[in-house]
């Protein structure tokens, strides 16, 4: 350490990058640590025989200097006070770009000082080499590229690099600040008016994942109801009540096809049944026209609100949940709340909103709330997923681990000004090896071929910063990659080649299964459905070596992982599934995600019937529900069999008619031939047999259609009476 006399001028103290000359250095620069956030830490040492140490600091560096400077007198162990001219004082020591500062020293002489400070510096850059030998041993070497732009030589200093989550900023400490204060008077008021009040907002917080669209109490719910003689249910397409005497409803299994016919005779019923041909020889009769409906009553404000709500959600197709609440005077609270929800649901359907978009739920009695309903918008998991998936690059980078890192050279180094140096920060063996990394999600990922990669463990207690990686195998170059920050003692994947030895074929599917039945109203089940998205990856190993593949998969927002390979790791928000594939082998990797959704399931269509059938075959279905729906399931099966038999019979009739036409043409031709008598008699006999078959098949067809009509009526009646 060099002994000097005060004053000491330190123009280079802050490592000014734009300095072209500086005063002779009389302190020793002992240590420099460069950080990734744009600053560097400097340590200097000196012995002063006087009582004052003078510093000349570049004007644009004063704030950083004051923010971080620490000067400790080694004799007393106390920090030394610092004096400097304020802005506007007129003191200018070096022609306008330097500010002189004085450090007052106390105690016995000489003064041994240690000065440390932080100032701007270029960020250091990491660079890695990975070597994997024949024995499988993995060597990792890391280097830090450091740039000396401080304006002075770093002679025999301990040079280090570091990184952390610490923030760095500029702050004005030099400028004089005047605080504006209020002037008070002695003749203040003895009485003072209170502040203005305001209304609260937000109300009672709703359940997460939904938005309240309307709240209707019993009075408003009554105003929504329409005073009609018969309520037509758009779900079923037939009149619920108020049927005219002597009339029944005939409907196909499709919701859209319904007809009202008089019950005068079986012939008139079969005449209007769909699919009965002219060959039935049954005359059709036109039904009597129904009387004109009465004029509708004027619309209430609540009806207009419901119609506007239905029109809006009919266009965007979002799911609506009608939540019913019981009143204190109700007997069966659950049944009363469900009845209110179903009444509001029916009004939304009558206003034109599809039944499949509305679910009615009974919530029983709620403290502080009277009877009524809340109409809410259910959460849309798919849109949430899309919204979350569209992150900006800055948002994606914010999820990377930061941690803390510190590496320092073990021997002093010399780095001349305006030059750069590579500092060895790591050289050791670690756990690692070659694997395949399937990443179809990243920007530069690949959905068809997994990347060949190095799976590497960080052997240090510091974070290995993101940087380029050069990979060597058995003494030769085999690829390059980029690493994300690798936390201490954790594994990372570094893709470096795309050899296309593993081929991936992806198949996507979606499956719905009822997990819970909330209510049943006139054959429409309000259900909680488990919506499953299944991704199947068919992986084929075209190489002659066993391959280990890590599959990256991020579960969509709003979904949970239901099925996946057993060997799992985590990478940020993603899962990593380990899959072993033998030489020439093909492996199926199945990944299921599921989410609950509210949905209306109608027994009148085949898809809804099949979902209910599967649910009832499971252990979750109650005995009462199985008993109520079991007969309808049998009827539905019987109707399907009858429809199939009718189709077969019609096909037979078509073949018979075609054969009858052929025989008739042949007989007409034979009448012109004198010697065709015996053959004509044979053909006439066959023609009579075919005609008898047509008559028999026609009678059978009519009987089958009669059974189908009766089964449909029983099915529709059973569905109309089905409630839970």
Question: Looking at the DSSP assignment, which residues form a beta bridge with residue 477?
Answer: 472
437, pLDDT greater than 90: yes
Give yes or no: residues 106 and 35 share one domain.
Answer: yes
Tokens of 83: 């004096």
Buried b (16+ CB within 10 A) or exposed e, 565-575: beeeeebeeeb
Helix residue spans in 266-424 (DSSP H): 266-272, 301-316, 333-350, 381-389, 393-397
Looking at the domain assignment, is residue 205 inside a domain? no
CA angle 235, 237, 238 (to 5 degrees): 120
Give yes or no: residues 475 and 461 share one domain.
Answer: yes
Question: 323: domain CATH number?
Answer: 3.30.1330.60
Looking at the domain assignment, is residue 271 inside a domain? no
Q: Report the domain count for the chain.
A: 5
Give yes or no: residues 347 and 438 share one domain.
Answer: no
Helix residue spans in 260-380 (DSSP H): 266-272, 301-316, 333-350
Question: 655: domain CATH number?
Answer: 1.10.287
Give yes or no: residues 339 and 359 share one domain.
Answer: yes
- Provide the 10 A C-beta neighbour count for residue 157: 20
Q: Which domain holds residue 708?
A: 624-721
Alpha carbon distance 432, 444 (integer Å): 23
Tokens of 706: 């009669």
Looking at the domain assignment, is residue 177 inside a domain? no
Alpha carbon distance 604, 233 (integer Å): 13
Which pLDDT tens digit goes with each residue over 259-285?
A: 333 333 333 334 333 443 434 444 445
401, pLDDT greater than 60: no
Query: Cβ distance 461 to 406 under 8 Å?
Result: no
Question: Which comes out higher in pLDDT, residue 419 or 23?
Answer: 419
439: three-class secondary structure by DSSP:
coil
Question: 105: domain CATH number?
Answer: 2.60.40
Tokens of 682: 């044979």
Alpha carbon distance 61, 54 (integer Å): 16
> How many residues appear in the chain?
724
Give yes or no: residues 556 and 590 share one domain.
Answer: yes
Looking at the domain assignment, is residue 156 inside a domain? no
584: three-class secondary structure by DSSP:
coil
- Average the pLDDT over each of 368-372, 430-434, 616-620, 666-670 and give the range with the smallest value: 616-620
Give yes or no: residues 543 and 560 share one domain.
Answer: yes
Alpha carbon distance 52, 102 (integer Å): 6
In degrees and rounded to multiples of 5, residue 278 shows phi and psi of -65, -25
Tokens of 74: 């080694």
Give yes or no: residues 414 and 486 share one domain.
Answer: yes
Which pLDDT tens digit goes with each residue over 613-660?
A: 787 777 766 666 777 777 788 888 888 899 999 999 999 999 999 999
194, pLDDT greater than 60: no
Give yes or no: residues 588 and 548 share one domain.
Answer: yes
| pLDDT for the residue 226 | 52
Give yes or no: residues 586 and 672 share one domain.
Answer: no
Looking at the domain assignment, is residue 397 inside a domain? no
Looking at the domain assignment, is residue 686 inside a domain? yes
- Average the pLDDT over each of 227-236, 587-596, 615-624, 708-717 and give the range with the smallest value: 227-236
Kindly indicate the confidence band of residue 5, based on its pLDDT and cuts at 50, 70 and 90: very low
Q: Please state the separation of Cα 105 from the chain's center in Å.
A: 63
Alpha carbon distance 669, 671 (integer Å): 6
Compute the average pLDDT of residues 312-337. 84
Query: Cβ distance 49 to 88 under 8 Å?
Result: no
Tokens of 59: 């004007």
Residue that terminates a domain, selected from 481, 498, 515: 498
Give yes or no: residues 680 and 697 share one domain.
Answer: yes
Give yes or no: residues 472 and 542 share one domain.
Answer: no
Residue that terminates a domain, selected from 447, 480, 498: 498
What is the four-CA torsion angle of 638, 639, 645, 649, rounded to 10 degrees?
150
Which pLDDT tens digit goes with each residue over 84-142?
A: 666 644 444 444 567 777 777 777 788 888 888 888 889 999 999 999 987 778 999 99
Alpha carbon distance 20, 383 (integer Å): 59
Looking at the domain assignment, is residue 667 inside a domain? yes
Query: Cβ distance 529 to 514 under 8 Å?
Result: yes
Alpha carbon distance 92, 452 (integer Å): 63
Model's pTM, two decimal places?
0.58
Mean pLDDT of the chain: 76
CA neighbours closer than 13 Å in the CB half-sphere of residue 575: 19
Give yes or no: residues 327 and 364 share one domain.
Answer: yes
Looking at the domain assignment, is residue 239 inside a domain? no
| pLDDT for the residue 402 | 54
Query: Cβ distance 156 to 413 under 8 Å?
Result: yes
Could you write out the three-class secondary structure of 162-192?
EECCCCCCCCCCCCCCCCCCCCCCCCCCCCC
Question: Which comes out higher in pLDDT, residue 689 or 225?
Answer: 689
Residue that terminates a domain, selected from 444, 477, 498: 498
């Amino acid at each position: 350490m060099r002994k000097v006399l005060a004053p000491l001028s330190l123009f280079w103290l802050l490592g000014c990058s734009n300095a072209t000359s500086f005063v002779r250095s009389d302190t020793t620069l002992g240590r420099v640590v460069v950080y990734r956030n744009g600053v560097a830490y400097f340590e200097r040492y000196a012995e002063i025989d006087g009582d004052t140490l003078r510093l000349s600091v570049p004007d644009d560096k004063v704030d950083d200097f004051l923010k971080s400077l620490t000067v400790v007198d080694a004799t007393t162990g106390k920090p030394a006070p610092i004096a400097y001219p304020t802005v506007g004082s007129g003191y200018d020591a070096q022609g306008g770009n330097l500010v002189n500062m004085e450090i007052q020293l106390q105690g016995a002489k000489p003064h041994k000082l240690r000065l440390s400070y932080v100032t701007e510096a270029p960020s250091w850059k990491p660079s890695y080499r990975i070597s994997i030998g024949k024995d499988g041993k993995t060597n990792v070497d890391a280097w830090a590229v450091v740039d000396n732009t401080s304006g002075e030589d770093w002679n025999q200093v301990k040079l280090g690099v570091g990184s952390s989550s610490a923030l760095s900023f500029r702050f004005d400490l030099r400028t004089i600040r005047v605080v504006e204060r209020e002037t008070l008077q002695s003749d203040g008021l003895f009485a003072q008016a209170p502040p203005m009040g305001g209304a609260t907002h937000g109300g009672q917080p709703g359940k997460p994942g939904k938005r309240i669209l309307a709240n209707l109490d019993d009075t408003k719910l009554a105003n929504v109801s329409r005073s009609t003689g018969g309520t037509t249910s758009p779900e079923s397409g037939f009149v619920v009540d108020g049927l005219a005497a002597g009339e029944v409803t005939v409907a196909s299994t499709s919701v859209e096809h319904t007809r009202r016919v008089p019950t005068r005779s079986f012939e008139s019923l079969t005449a209007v049944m769909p699919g009965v041909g002219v060959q039935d020889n049954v005359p059709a009769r036109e039904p009597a026209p129904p009387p004109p409906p009465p004029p509708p009553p004027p619309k209430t404000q609540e009806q207009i609100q419901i119609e506007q709500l239905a029109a809006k959600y009919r266009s965007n197709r979002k799911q609506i949940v009608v939540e019913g609440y019981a009143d204190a005077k109700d007997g069966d609270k659950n049944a009363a709340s469900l009845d209110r929800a179903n009444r509001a649901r029916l009004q939304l359907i009558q206003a034109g909103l599809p039944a499949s978009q509305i679910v009615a739920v009974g919530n029983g009695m709620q403290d502080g709330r009277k009877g009524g309903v809340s109409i809410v918008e259910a959460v849309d998991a798919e849109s949430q997923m899309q919204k979350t998936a569209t992150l900006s690059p800055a948002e994606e980078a914010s999820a990377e681990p930061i941690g803390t890192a510190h590496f320092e050279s073990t021997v002093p180094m010399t780095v001349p000004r305006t030059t750069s140096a590579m500092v060895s920060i790591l050289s050791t063996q670690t756990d690692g090896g070659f694997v395949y990394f399937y990443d179809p999600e990243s920007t530069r990922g690949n959905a068809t071929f997994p990347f060949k990669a190095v799976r590497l463990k960080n052997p240090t207690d510091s974070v290995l910063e993101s940087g380029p990686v050069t990979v060597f195998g058995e003494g030769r170059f085999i690829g390059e990659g980029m690493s994300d920050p690798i936390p201490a003692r954790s594994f990372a994947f570094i893709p470096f080649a795309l050899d296309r030895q593993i081929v991936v074929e992806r198949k996507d599917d979606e499956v719905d299964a009822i997990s819970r039945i909330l209510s049943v109203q006139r054959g429409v089940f309000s259900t909680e459905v488990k919506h499953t998205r299944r991704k199947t990856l068919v992986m084929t190993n075209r190489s002659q070596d066993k391959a280990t593949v890590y599959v990256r998969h991020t579960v969509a927002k709003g979904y949970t992982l239901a099925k996946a390979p057993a060997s799992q790791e985590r990478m940020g928000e993603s899962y990593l599934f380990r899959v072993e594939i033998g030489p020439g082998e093909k492996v199926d990797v199945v990944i299921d995600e599921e989410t609950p959704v509210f949905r209306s399931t109608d027994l009148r269509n085949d898809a809804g019937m099949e979902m209910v059938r599967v649910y009832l075959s499971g252990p979750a279905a109650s005995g009462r529900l199985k008993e109520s729906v079991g007969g309808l399931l049998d009827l539905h099966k019987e109707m399907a069999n009858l429809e199939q038999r009718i189709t077969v019979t019609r096909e037979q009739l078509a073949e018979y008619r075609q054969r009858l036409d052929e025989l008739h043409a042949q007989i007409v031709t034979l009448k012109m031939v004198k010697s065709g008598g015996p053959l004509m008699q044979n053909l006439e006999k066959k023609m009579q047999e075919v005609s008898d078959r047509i008559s028999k098949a026609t009678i059978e067809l009519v009987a089958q259609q009669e059974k189908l009509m009766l089964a449909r009526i029983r099915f529709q009646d059973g569905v109309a009476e089905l409630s839970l």
